[in-house]
Structure 1
Amino acid sequence: MSTMAYPAKDRPWVEKAEELAAGFAPAAAQTDQEAALPKDNLRRLFDAGLDAAILPEEQGGAGLSFRAFGRIVFEIARGCPATACIWLMNTGAAETLIALSSPETSARYVREFRQGKRFANALSEPTSGNLFLNPVQEAERLPGGDWKLEGAKRFVSGAELADYFLINVSIDGAPAFFGVERDDTLEIHDIWDALGMRGTRSQLIGFRGARLKRENRLGPPPEGRQNLIGLGLPWLSLGIAQAAYDALKEHARTKTLGATGKPLSHAQWIQFETAAVHARLTAAKLLAEHTLALADEGSAETNILALEAKILANQIAKDIAELGIRVGGGLAYTKALPFERHFRDAQAGGLMAYSSELCHLFVGQYELGVQEPG
């Protein structure tokens, strides 16, 4: 899959992910049909040590490189996209809370994370959409220095399993981020009936007077900080793209072309279109790998390249899945073949913040030197 080497110390972790993901694949269709959380998959990832591996060595982790992290997301998504999405959000939310909290609070999060407590990313508001870093829900200040939130967050992947949530609010008109422990002020609205990625069960959560403790408020990120979720999202779509591409090749090689008795792979239009999507998939992987290599170096280019990598990954996943439908014909429109599931799953990446449209906007503004007022 990859032309880029990652540190030798990371190889066992990538190999674990590959092995586990191969076991996730046979049940991926059932997970989708039942819109069921892949609890067993998530437990197996934790038991294998992959959750804690993202932590620095001084915190009991393996200090995984960003390159290895992306490859792990890719492999899991190739097997079961819902599992990969929840795992990405769990590790990303936990890493952020650990890295940006006070030393005492950070140590508590580390202990909880290593013991298997679940974390979730709850930043998207029903009214602010993709602009999740600019919340419009204003927190109410309480006597003693805490705040409370009356509001909602949507698309919280793995919400029903989470013990802690990374959330944001507006305080005096400025964004503020907190860690919030699950309690009876959090209400999950079971409205999940999604087109694709159904196993994530990315529910809407109501916060009814949720207490935002000042000791759980996050500090500002240091300059050059890399965000695991932003770096991992392209690989989520690339894993879906790879699974769809693998299914496409298998079908084309084994399904015969009418009375000719030859496999579909002998059809010239399929050869041409397979070559086209393969070249673009390779290019998308290379850009995503280059982005992670720069992240490992702490490069300032990483943020904008991550948006570009997401644009390419989101689109190639959709295009390969759509080609699978065409190659599979009428049967591909049913659950008899995996293409309809890949097609539905592939739509999710472009909708996840930042959406493909916002990624295009930000990259275009960056390239043209356009600065919006304010």
Structure 2
Amino acid sequence: MTMPLPDDHPLAPPPHEQSWVRVAQDLAAGFATKTDEYDRTAELPVENLRALHASGLDQATLPREFGGQSLSYRTVGAVLRVLSAADPSTACVWLMHIGAAEGLVQHSTPDVARYYADELIAGRRFANALSEPTGGNQFLTPQQVAEPVDGGYRLTGAKRFVSGCEIADHFLINALVDGEPTLFGLEPDHTVTFQPQDTLGLRATRSHLITLDHTVLRTDRRCPPAEHPKPNHIAGGLAYLSLGIADTALNTLIDYARTRTLPTTGNPLAAEQHLQFEVADAVLRLEAAALTAHHTAWLADQNSPQFLPSAVRAKPTANRAARDIAQLCLQVGGGSGFVSTSPIQRIFRDAQTGWLMAHSVEFCLNHIGTTTLLPPPPASSD
């Protein structure tokens, strides 16, 4: 078990928002009973998503001027960790949902921003559609070109790993327009189709490839360039998805270690010193990863320019913790953890996904290593 942050800790959710974490905890208890079934069937957890909306959490994430509560990044992170520990697929779809909605509200003109905020409040679904099949980690730098047509721009191409795409009423999507990366809001029509991709982990996200066939991106849904970019919940929230998975992996490991006995001694596996050392190391790494994520969320709440550099550190730190603890959990579970009826095999598969999500761990490490070792480029004279 890891040490929780005290409620009055500066990195914890603000006191007036901690009730939202309790809302998430109450919902998560029910979500956890269906997680393995959703994974087995690869079915979207629509009931969970509706429950989250009905609780008011969706609306609370919106800025106050659009009817929300400007919920802090610290609170959203804490909520995500709770949800991910119960059902990581639900947490992932919800993160992409509020992240896409937030992006459209944040980057649209005031009237269009109000429209998207009202749609979120009304229960409409949003999805994030930025990654291209050949784009790798460069999801903010699209390669697909949208050509001008009457009323907007025509885009033919594809976006991959779009979580919850089948129930989305709105997509946050991007394309090259006049050589510049440009964001749009897109309401899917007959030109938008889905190609199923049965993923290894987080199967209930149904993160399919979407194909765009002469799809019109409307001019009035085009997002103007942001004068003052702000943090986004997706960048800050990905680490918390892995933290929740790591929490469940650690708790499952503890349960197995306490109840499994060694035939040679009759003692529980938890009494083995070598395992105690490994678990202690896992706890320390998980706590370090959590503090990095909490610090990143705090920076986001301050609208600090250090938010993105910190997020690049928080994500791989949490991804590694989840993957390593899930691996240790599988070792402790032994052969019984490797069968399809065991939750351990699902936890192990889910733990791999954060590593691959853009920005991947390798991309983050390359960025951190480059900026650490190499001198910064000379300032432009323009």
State how far apart, in whole Å, the 2-side matches of 1:256 and 1:140 are: 66
Question: CA contact under 8 A between 2:108 and 2:224: conserved in structure 1?
Answer: yes
Does structure 2 retain, via aligned residues, the 8 Å contact 1:6–1:65? Answer: yes
DSSP 3-state at the match of 1:117: coil
SS in 1 for 2:78: helix
In the alignment, residue 113 of structure 1 is paired with which amino acid?
A: L
Q: Higher mean Cα deviation, 79-88 or 61-70? A: 61-70
**2:57 is paired with a residue of what secondary structure?**
coil
1:180 paired to 2:186: yes
Task: Describe the shift of the 1:23–1:370 C-alpha distance in structure 2 as closer, same or farther (beyond 3 A).
Answer: farther
1:254, distance to aligned residue in structure 2 (A):
1.4
Q: Does 1:159 align with 2:165?
A: yes
C-alpha distance in 2 between matches for 1:370 and 1:348: 33
Which letter maps to 1:359?
A: C
Distance in 2 separating the partners of 1:156 and 1:268:
44
- Identity in percent: 47
Distance 2:119 2:304 in 1: 31
**In the TM superposition, what is the alpha-carbon distance from 1:182 to its structure 2 partner?**
1.5
C-alpha distance 45-223 of structure 1, shift in aligned 2 (>3 A): same
Q: In the alignment, what sits opposite 1:82? A: 89
Comparing 1-10 with 248-257, greater Cα deviation is found at 1-10
2:271 to 245, 253, 266: 266
Q: How many residues align?
A: 372
Which residue does the alignment assign to 1:134? 141
- Superposed CA offset, 1:286-318 (max 9, x none): 111111111111211110111100010001100
Shift of 1:143: 3.5
Distance apart, 1:172 and its partner CA: 2.2
**What SS is found at the alignment partner of 1:26?**
coil
Q: Say if 1:186 and 1:208, in contact at 8 Å, map to a contact too.
A: yes
AA partner of residue 128 (structure 1) = G
Deviates further, 70-79 or 255-264: 255-264
Match of 2:362 in 1: 357
**Does residue 1:220 correspond to 2:228, yes or no?**
no
Residue of structure 2 in register with 1:35 after alignment: 42
Deviates further, 4-13 or 298-307: 4-13
Per-residue deviation, residues 47-82 of structure 1 (Å, max 9, x unmatched): 001111101222111211110010011000000000
Contact 1:365 1:371 in 2 (8 A): no
| Cα distance per residue 1:121-143 (max 9 Å; x no partner) | 00000111211111110111114
Aligned partner of residue 322 in structure 2, secondary structure: helix
What secondary structure is seen at the aligned counterpart in 2 of 1:359? helix
Q: Alpha-carbon deviations, 1:85-139, whole Å to 9, x = none? A: 0000000000000111011111111111100000000000011121111111011
CA contact (8 A) 1:117 1:162 kept: yes
2:187 is aligned with 1:200: no
Amino acid at match of 2:167: L
8 Å CA contact 2:191, 2:214 repeated in 1? yes
Following the alignment from structure 2 to structure 1, what is the Cα–Cα distance between the partners of residues 328 and 41? 26
1:1-374 paired onto structure 2 within 5 Å: 1-3=4-6, 4-144=11-151, 146-190=152-196, 192-370=197-375
Alpha-carbon spacing, 1:184–1:224, altered in 2? closer, same or farther (3 Å): closer
Report the RMSD for the aligned CA atoms in angstroms.
1.5
Q: 1:213 to 1:311 in 2, by over 3 A?
A: same
**Alpha-carbon separation, structure 2, partners of 1:75 and 1:91:** 16
**Paired residues of 1:224 and 1:299 also in contact (CA < 8 A):** no
In structure 1, how many angstroms separate the alpha carbons of the residues matched to 2:303 and 2:370?
23
Deviates more, 1:362-371 or 1:4-13: 362-371
Q: TM-score when scaled to structure 2? A: 0.94
In the TM superposition, residue 159 of structure 1 has moved relative to its aligned partner by: 0.5
- The letter of the residue matching 1:245 is L
Deviations 1:171-215 (A, max 9, x none): 12221110001211111112x221111000000101111111111
Kindly indicate whether the alpha-carbon contact (under 8 Å) linking 1:102 and 1:215 is maintained by their aligned counterparts in 2.
no
8 Å Cα contact 2:13/2:78 also seen in 1 = no
Distance (Å, rounded) in 1 between the aligned partners of 2:365 and 2:191: 38
Which stretches of structure 1, 4 residues or longer, exceed 6 Å deviation after superposition?
Answer: none
Read off the aligned partner of 2:195 and give its amino acid letter: H
1:177 alignment partner, SS class: strand
CA–CA distance in 2 between the matches of 1:5 and 1:311? 21
Shift of 1:370: 5.0
Stretches of structure 1 that go unaligned for 5 or more consecutive residues are none
One-letter code of the match for 2:317?
A: L
CA distance 1:372–1:350, shift in 2 (3 Å): farther
Structure 2 letter corresponding to 1:234: A
Contact residue 151 and residue 208 of structure 1 kept, 8 A: yes
Preserved CA contact (<8 Å) 1:81 1:345: yes
Aligned counterparts of 1:370 and 1:133: Cα–Cα separation in 2? 25
Query: Distance in 2 between the 1:367 and 1:173 partners?
Result: 31
- Partner Cα distance (2:217, 2:12) in 1: 43
